[in-house]
Amino acid sequence: MSMDAQPRFLKTEKRFFTFGEKGKGLVLESGAHFGPVTLAYETLGTLNKDKSNAVLICHALTGDSHVAGYYGEYEKKPGWWDTMVGPGKGIDTDRYFVICSNILGGCMGSSGPSSINPETGEPYALDFPLVTIGDMVNAQKKLVEFLGIERLHSVIGGSLGGMQALAWCYHYPDHVRSAVALATTLRHSALAIAFNEVARQAIVRDPNWDKGYYYSGEKPSMGLSVARMIGHITYLSDESMHQKFGRRLQGKDAFSFDFDTDFQVESYLRYQGAKFVDRFDANSLLYITKAADYFDLSRYADYQSALATLKKAATKFLVVSYTSDWLYPTYQSRDIVKVLKRNGLDVSFCEIEADCGHDAFLLPSDNLSGMITGFLSGLHGKGRG
């Protein structure tokens, strides 16, 4: 097929999977029972005959199921990892069947605090139970089973998505052939928890938050905007902010000598905060950041037995960190590698030189793309998934 004959865009669609309609949903790590559960998801590529080429991609904190391609010809922007996922790309949809679902507790089609509680006909709000990364993974496992897949070729994720990839290996070691953990950690540091708490406080102290029951009135837009501004700072680096903004003024030649926007970086953060309010739910941010703070695989009593099962299953790992990531710095990725190697697991590790901070894994990178391509291909030699 000539280049002119190829479609201009990779088309995909959001789908929905619901289970536990009769109350037989999930038993959460908190002990609560929750159902029905709905997950929004997207698939790209074709599942092969023996269903061995499935790759699950787990999104980061405020991502969604729309990982790549376009929902329609007139959609302005593709999915959030379109630079990595697609025909001939790092995660090649001509070779792999790619799955991505919106996490439990989210607000992009999966069950979360903004979803309608079937018992009341109103949004759950804070009646939605607190969930963990493990709960998110348990819901994803139901989706994978629904798709008829016994063992995933790989689970791949960055940041919060990396935590999910690691949790998959803990909860379902016999069902994961490999995992790619990008810019992530085994557990949140006090610094990461502190930033999340400040973001949560910005939301709950907004007068419109109304203890979470704001859906019929004004949203806590100011609190959510500030929370996003705080989070966005942690995704960047000193060098990237210096290169992008420095101390340049915003549309003026002198200081205003008031509390208006003087600097370009101030304008940028306000823009990011305002844009976020239009697409995300404040309560979901509370729930997801709390789940991230709770994450700590070593606290499970059967942690060592899971590692032993992974060794027996010959599960392979690729762990990647970035030099300028100060949210989850390289030493935390090295901690993951140490734990896995100490238990005899096959682990590859790379620290990538990058000056753009934590978000580097989301940006176009031939280095990362080639690394993931080689890692996935190496799992089955020269054969096709």
| Residue 59 DSSP SS3 | coil
Which residue in 33, 39, 32, 67 sits closest to 137, CA to CA?
39
50 is catalytic: no
Which residue in 259, 231, 233, 258 sits closest to 245, CA to CA?
233
Catalytic residue among 159, 178, 225, 321: 159
159 is catalytic: yes
Catalytic residue among 321, 325, 333, 365: 325
**What is the phi/psi pair of residue 287, to 5°?**
-65, -45
What value, to the nearest 5°, has the Cα angle with vertex 80 and ends 329 and 222? 75
Cα gap 33→44, rounded to integer Å: 32
Cβ-proximal residues to 185 (8 Å cutoff; 6+ apart), any chain: 162, 163, 192, 328, 332, 333, 335, 336
Beta carbons within 10 angstroms of residue 346's beta carbon: 14
Cα gap 16→42, rounded to integer Å: 9
Catalytic residue among 82, 237, 358, 359: 358
Helices assigned H by DSSP within 72-189: 133-146, 160-171
Catalytic positions, please? 159, 325, 358
